């Protein structure tokens, strides 16, 4: 069921079938941001960074963005100097059409790596986008739909909070299904609020929200060349700007931004390529934060854990073995417990005395399951969201280009 989306004052959107991808399918999307908008962004940690990522970073350093231009069909990655020229030319064309400087345009691309991005479709598509700009919920949904690649459904989320008694909206949309792993995946996400937020607090809001959402999901352990997440504050709701981290209104806005990002990240992992189930991997009692993160990551990316999840198989040995891969030094397994949902499966490193296979199967039956692994080594905790590894994942990725 689609959530209700609240339009964000100061943002207009449009999408069109520009012929970059398959004929007749929306593949070019723009977000126009009102004058005065502030935008923060985070990009992929993959060292093969696509041309649009490099250009977006340059432009972000030079000016406050007024236009986001997103295409599917080609990632414009591993395209060298020609790809950089194309990304710049896209920005120049968009700037001319929308009456902006090229630095005020950020480009985003997603699709096959290594194929050239043709410029011609933008020449026809950008004017159509300009003429079709709209601010309503339908425009947000159309944009969410247009940026999909292997996603089976559009992903968007919204929250409304009151700052000083005035409603402020946070709405975003995202794409991502495969090549998904922390620190951005083959994922694009655009979030906007009509609150007014200064650059410093805006960057903090974005970092915190990403850390609790997009940096917690794994579909296949691969990170991508094009990932990007932006957070725009238009200020168009009219409330006084949030200038400092001490602003008492910040917690409410932070929670709204975090909630929208969480919704979008969960939507991505639930729609992971071929996914049928969601597993939350919680690690508690780790020696330190790095160990907690390492163990959660190892369990979340284990193909054996993910195929057992597909089967609804309470194969707890695979979870312990995946944790063992990520641990170092001496481990006292006698202190290790594991729960699947509320069912205690492992106590003291061995199968719990009251555990039955039937109870384990019941615990694994829901579409969404939490595995809680307590290591008994310290106080650190972490978590990851992952999906199952299915026949459909293989089908999609063995046939993606054909």
- Closest distance to a copy of itself from the beta carbon of 202 (Å): 28
Distance CA 17, CA 27 (A): 5
**Alpha-carbon radius of gyration of the chain:** 22
Which residue lies nearer to a copy of itself by CB, 16 or 46?
A: 46
Side-chain half-sphere of 139: how many Cα atoms within 13 Å? 20
- Closest distance to a copy of itself from the beta carbon of 347 (Å): 10
- Closest distance to a copy of itself from the beta carbon of 231 (Å): 25
39 in active site: no
Which residue lies nearer to a copy of itself by CB, 3 or 376?
A: 376
Q: Is 189 helix (H, G, I), strand (E, B) or coil?
A: strand
- The answer to whether the CB of 216 falls within 8 A of the CB of 384 is yes
Q: Is the dihedral of CA 290, 296, 300, 302 positive or negative?
A: positive
Binding interface with a copy of itself (CB under 8 A): 46-49, 75, 77-80, 82-83, 112-115, 178-179, 181, 220-225, 301-304, 307-308, 310-311, 313, 315-318, 320-325, 327-329, 331, 333-334, 346, 348-351, 389-391, 393-395, 397-402
- Closest distance to a copy of itself from the beta carbon of 368 (Å): 18
Distance CA 155, CA 139 (A): 13
Q: Is 27 helix (H, G, I), strand (E, B) or coil?
A: coil
Catalytic residue chosen out of the listed positions 186, 232, 234, 386: 186
Which residue lies nearer to a copy of itself by CB, 145 or 291?
A: 291
Which residue lies nearer to a copy of itself by CB, 158 or 224?
A: 224
Which residue lies nearer to a copy of itself by CB, 145 or 273?
A: 273
- The answer to whether the CB of 373 falls within 8 A of the CB of 323 is yes
Q: Which of 217, 208, 207, 153 is nearest to 186 (CA)?
A: 217
- The answer to whether the CB of 26 falls within 8 A of the CB of 145 is yes
- Closest distance to a copy of itself from the beta carbon of 68 (Å): 23
Using CA atoms, how far residue 381 sits from 63, 204, 288, 295, 374, in Å, is 39, 22, 8, 10, 9
- Residues assigned a catalytic role: 186
């Amino acid at each position: 069921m689609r959530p209700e989306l609240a339009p964000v004052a100061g943002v207009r959107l449009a999408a069109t079938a520009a012929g970059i991808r398959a004929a007749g399918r929306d593949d070019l999307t723009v977000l126009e941001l009102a004058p005065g908008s502030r935008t923060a962004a985070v990009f992929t940690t993959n060292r093969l960074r696509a041309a649009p990522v490099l250009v977006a970073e340059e432009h972000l350093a030079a000016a406050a963005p007024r236009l986001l231009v997103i295409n599917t069909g080609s990632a414009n990655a591993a395209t060298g100097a020609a790809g950089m020229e194309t990304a710049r030319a896209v920005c120049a064309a968009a700037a001319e059409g929308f009456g902006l400087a090229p630095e005020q345009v950020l480009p985003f691309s997603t699709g096959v790596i290594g194929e050239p991005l043709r410029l011609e479709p933008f020449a026809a598509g950008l004017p159509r986008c300009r003429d079709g700009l709209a601010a309503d919920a339908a425009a947000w949904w159309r944009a969410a739909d247009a940026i999909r690649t292997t996603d089976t459904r559009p992903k968007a989320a919204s929250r409304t909070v009151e700052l000083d008694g005035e409603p402020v909206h946070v709405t975003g949309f995202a794409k991502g299904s495969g090549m998904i792993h922390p620190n951005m995946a083959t994922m694009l996400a655009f979030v906007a609020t009509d609150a007014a937020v200064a650059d410093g607090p805006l960057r903090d809001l974005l970092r915190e929200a990403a850390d609790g959402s997009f940096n917690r999901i794994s579909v296949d352990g691969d990170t991508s060349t094009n990932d990007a997440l932006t957070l725009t504050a238009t200020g168009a709701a009219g409330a006084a700007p949030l200038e400092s981290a001490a602003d008492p209104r910040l917690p409410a806005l932070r929670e709204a931004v975090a909630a929208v990002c969480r919704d979008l990240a969960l939507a991505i992992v639930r729609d992971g390529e071929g996914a049928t189930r969601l597993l939350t991997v919680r690690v508690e009692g780790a020696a330190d934060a790095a160990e907690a993160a390492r163990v959660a990551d190892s369990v979340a990316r284990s193909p054996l854990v993910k195929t057992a999840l597909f089967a609804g198989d309470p194969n707890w040995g695979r979870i312990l073995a995946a944790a063992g891969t990520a641990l170092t030094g001496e481990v006292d397994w006698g202190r290790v417990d594991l729960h699947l949902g509320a069912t205690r499966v492992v106590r003291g490193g061995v199968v719990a005395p009251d555990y039955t296979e039937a109870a384990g199967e019941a615990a694994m039956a829901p579409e969404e399951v939490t595995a809680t692994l307590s290591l008994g080594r310290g106080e650190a905790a972490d978590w990851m969201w992952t999906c199952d590894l299915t026949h459909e994942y293989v089908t999609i990725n063995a046939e993606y280009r054909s």
